[in-house]
Structure 1
Amino acid sequence: MPYAQLKLSTDKPILSWANHELGSQETQMAKNVASLPFVFKHVALMPDVHLGKGALVGSVIATKDAVIPAAVGVDVGCGMAAIKTPFTGEQLEGKLKKIRLDIEAAIPVGFNANKEVEKSVTNWQGWRNFKELHSGVQSLEKKAIKQLGSLGGGNHFIEVCLDTDNQVWLMLHSGSRHIGNALAKCHISTAKELAKLATNKLPDPDLAYFIAGTPEFAAYWRDLQWAQNYARYNRDVMMNRFKRIVETHLAGGKQTKPLLTVNCHHNYAEKEVHFGEDVIVTRKGAVRATSEDYGIIPGSMGAKSYIVKGKGNHDSYCSCAHGAGRLMSRNKAKKHFSLDDLIAQTQGIECRKDKGVLDEIPGAYKPINEVMNQQSDLVEIVATLKQVVCVKG
């Protein structure tokens, strides 16, 4: 289904690819963003759009000479990585539990960090300019080093999947860990302080922004790019470790060459050209989908996930959805569903089945097939995956 323009009186139009009505809070959030003077052309809402902080999760905001730190959010550079392996489903038989336990032993989850630091982490180029980052994070360098190559919590996950041809894929979802969160909070706080000093009233304090050409904008942009690079490399480090585990079980430790590799952000800002103009595009829960881009759109831990190729749709600022999107909050999911529901909804998947992951139950998410149907003009499906192993953050 193509987009619809929302019938709202805003300075800039709001184009929505979602087929569900926005709630009153969501509508207000969309209106707040579309009323900002520096927003370019229109705001685009993806099919999985839902309530966020300041701006909706699943929104694409193009701006002229300004950036909103809270719209990028605190999990800077959060995104997905996937590789298509030369292995087939038959090779996994009888090995799923061992693979899951090895992943859990090799990749720290939740608030945990690596006990030992591998060479690929200490060799990362980003450490060279850590001293240039915001003064508020200078005590966090050791922690950032230890967390590079760790999953984090919430909806972050590591999965072994099979596609419709029974080919094995490795997939994971993670971001910039504590350091990205700390950097974002430092700059969001600065933006809010600046907004207080300025006389122009914001519709929401979380829409405090920086203007290009100011020292504050330059400092945020530098730290943002650093955190986005950290997030991407964090996924690479974990994927290498993950790949080695699978190769140990399926190839006797012999290294294999991936048949396709994808690594994409879905919480970030970038300078791009759209409709012939230089703009800053903030994708808050959205993936870039130019005709050259491969992307990953995961379902919940009991549903299908999709590897896609972009169609370069300019009305969406060459973007697509980043996942199924939550139907209910974490607290609501815990109250609504039981452990028996979780066991039933994750049948046939090698994963944790305890109360600690109840808020991530598939029923708490929108049906991914509906999300995919609503963006056939944004992406084409390259592969449809179903997980057989899932490690939650």
Structure 2
Amino acid sequence: MKTPINGNDLMELGLPQGQIIGIALKINSKRHGFTREQMLAHFKLVLENPENYIDDAIFSKLAVALIEKANEKPEDFIQLNPTPNAFTAYGLAHIEEGAKKQMEVAMQLPVTVAGALMPDAHQGYGLPIGGVLATRNAIIPYGVGVDIGCRMALSVYDITEDFYYANQDKFKRELTAHTKFGAGHGFQGQYKAEHAVLDSPVFEANSFIKNLKDKAWSQLGSSGGGNHFVEFGIMEFMEADADLGIPKGKYVALLTHSGSRGFGATVAGHYTKMAKDVCKLPEIARNLAYLDMNSELGQAYWIAMNLAGDYASACHEVIHNKMEKALGATVLTKVENHHNFAWKEIWNGEEVIVHRKGATPAGKGVMGIIPGSMTAPGFLVRGKGEENAINSASHGAGRQMSRTQAEKNITKVEMQAVLKDHGVTLIGAGLDEAPMAYKDINLVMEAQKDLVDVVAKFTPKLVRMADDGSRED
């Protein structure tokens, strides 16, 4: 497989983050007959002498953007605080430098109240993945992320571990029959699901949202691509949990991870662009453009974001209902939580907007699910309400290799050996999602023992992911 050009490659050349990277990636998507190496060489030449490319048929837009950026005046921008406010970080020794730097920039925003970095953190766009940011009366679309309302959902069944091992073919058949993966993929005609979320009046709020309803309907109950999954595993409660009404023991459970699909991604892209138009920040902070919650635009995004969150939850509900019916099982308990979202919360006596971009809500007594990888355990947890962490915890193990690095450094044979060693059956997934691409979940959980209590451990056994190179996250 040919190695694609990504944002990190362009940043290494010296192209600035933000709009310019986007322009370059769009040019590269057409490739124009150039090899990867030739395209990178051209980008380098445009960066060094953009004036030579103003009239170029391929690179003119990039050249003009570079020249315009060079002529921007500092006074044209909202000023960042010269010294970043302090933020709390957990498991700092295992967090890459890029994520720390992104968090420092976020702490310089004039609307920032507090911040925290979770132990699974890694570099993203704008706010790092695993970043938590509390702001005063402002919402940051890229602080929520592209996959609005991405979440975990868990159903624990009245099915024994022994029954699973004796009937693995049945579980594999039902998992294949009742899930759908792939970026852009959805259902057609009689296979489309119904759910009350489609009757939400918000879908009629404006023409932009209304035009997305058909896409939302077709993708309802599907899982997309990237690191999204649907999997069966064994849930072990080391002791009885009175609040959940679950006795000590081992149970078959269904765990799902996905978000708001194309609907949420389109909402995110639309409002991020608009935020950048009205909130002019220096290039280093451009992806943290925010909207005033008192503005019409801020309210429009807030309403659309909440609809995308409800839609993401509905997607999981459709999957879990299908599986419950197919198995003929009784669900003993269900738990779910968002991890790409923003909430109005009281922190330190003040109402703030808490952005959790790849972070699990962990207020006192709040239930959450923190997965590992396709071979590492996940954990059902109960939040401790740690204010220094802004009532949050990690949303998973976190990547230690980028997708490109994983594809370069991990072989199919190595991945298959790890799966076999852990007794995991995998349907789909590429090398970019190999277990070795992720941090050690046990180190991550140790780093946040002050944030959550572990209630039960989930061991994956049968995992389905996209197998078409999809990159939705």
- Normalising by structure 2, we get a TM-score of 0.75
Distance apart, 1:238 and its partner CA: 1.0
Deviations 1:116-137 (CA, angstroms, capped at 9, x unpaired): 457962543544331215x445
1:208 is aligned with what amino acid?
A
**C-alpha root-mean-square deviation of aligned residues, in Å?**
1.8
Report the counterpart of residue 58 of structure 1 in structure 2.
Answer: 130
Determine the C-alpha separation between the residues in 2 that align with 1:117 and 1:130: 22
Report the counterpart of residue 312 of structure 2 in structure 1.
Answer: 231
Q: Among residues 77, 80, 92, which one is paired with 1:19 in the alignment? A: 92
Determine the C-alpha separation between the residues in 2 that align with 1:177 and 1:155: 13
Determine whether 1:167 maps to 2:251. yes
Determine the C-alpha separation between the residues in 2 that align with 1:213 and 1:127: 23
Matches within 5 A, 1:280-299: 280-299=353-372
Determine whether 1:149 maps to 2:230. no
Distance apart, 1:142 and its partner CA: 1.4
Unaligned runs of at least 5 residues, structure 1: 1-8, 248-252
Report the counterpart of residue 341 of structure 1 in structure 2.
Answer: 414
1:209 is aligned with what amino acid?
Y
Q: How many residues align?
A: 370
Matches within 5 A, 1:70-85: 70-85=142-157
Determine the C-alpha separation between the residues in 2 that align with 1:49 and 1:62: 17
Distance apart, 1:163 and its partner CA: 2.5
1:351 is aligned with what amino acid?
L
Determine the C-alpha separation between the residues in 2 that align with 1:21 and 1:306: 20
Contact 1:298 1:323 (8 Å CA) reproduced: yes
Matches within 5 A, 1:103-142: 103-111=175-183, 112-116=185-189, 121-124=194-197, 126-133=199-206, 135-142=207-214
Report the counterpart of residue 69 of structure 1 in structure 2.
Answer: 141
Determine whether 1:195 maps to 2:275. no
Deviations 1:127-167 (CA, angstroms, capped at 9, x unpaired): 4331215x445433212101111111100001111133331
The one of the two structures with greater contact order (alpha-carbon pairs below 8 A, sep at least 6) is 1
Deviations 1:94-133 (CA, angstroms, capped at 9, x unpaired): 4223322322222211132123457962543544331215
Moved more, 157-166 or 70-79: 157-166
Determine the C-alpha separation between the residues in 1 that align with 2:199 and 2:371: 29
Aligned-partner SS, 1:75: coil
Q: Among residues 315, 329, 342, which one is paired with 2:402 in the alignment? A: 329
Determine the C-alpha separation between the residues in 2 that align with 1:363 and 1:100: 24
Aligned-partner SS, 1:62: strand
Determine the C-alpha separation between the residues in 2 that align with 1:26 and 1:122: 38
Change beyond 3 A, Cα 1:349–1:215: same
Distance apart, 1:93 and its partner CA: 2.4
Matches within 5 A, 1:344-355: 344-347=417-420, 348-352=423-427
Change beyond 3 A, Cα 1:97–1:337: farther
Report the counterpart of residue 185 of structure 1 in structure 2.
Answer: 269
Unaligned runs of at least 5 residues, structure 2: 1-81, 237-248, 467-473
- Normalising by structure 1, we get a TM-score of 0.90
Determine the C-alpha separation between the residues in 2 that align with 1:131 and 1:300: 39
Determine the C-alpha separation between the residues in 2 that align with 1:119 and 1:139: 18
Q: Among residues 251, 256, 260, which one is paired with 1:176 in the alignment? A: 260
Determine the C-alpha separation between the residues in 2 that align with 1:43 and 1:265: 18
Q: Among residues 270, 275, 290, which one is paired with 1:209 in the alignment? A: 290
Moved more, 376-385 or 342-351: 342-351
Determine the C-alpha separation between the residues in 2 that align with 1:53 and 1:119: 33
Report the counterpart of residue 6 of structure 1 in structure 2.
Answer: none
2:315 is aligned with what amino acid?
N
Determine the C-alpha separation between the residues in 2 that align with 1:273 and 1:121: 36
Contact 1:267 1:284 (8 Å CA) reproduced: yes
Deviations 1:276-315 (CA, angstroms, capped at 9, x unpaired): 1100000000011112211000001011110001111111
Report the counterpart of residue 168 of structure 2 in structure 1.
Answer: 96
Determine whether 1:86 maps to 2:158. yes
Determine the C-alpha separation between the residues in 2 that align with 1:303 and 1:168: 16
Contact 1:97 1:350 (8 Å CA) reproduced: no
Determine which structure has more spread, i.e. the larger CA radius of gyration.
2
Determine the C-alpha separation between the residues in 2 that align with 1:330 and 1:117: 36
Change beyond 3 A, Cα 1:43–1:124: closer
Moved more, 171-180 or 14-23: 14-23
Report the counterpart of residue 437 of structure 2 in structure 1.
Answer: 364
Q: Among residues 368, 381, 384, which one is paired with 1:308 in the alignment? A: 381
Determine the C-alpha separation between the residues in 2 that align with 1:94 and 1:330: 36
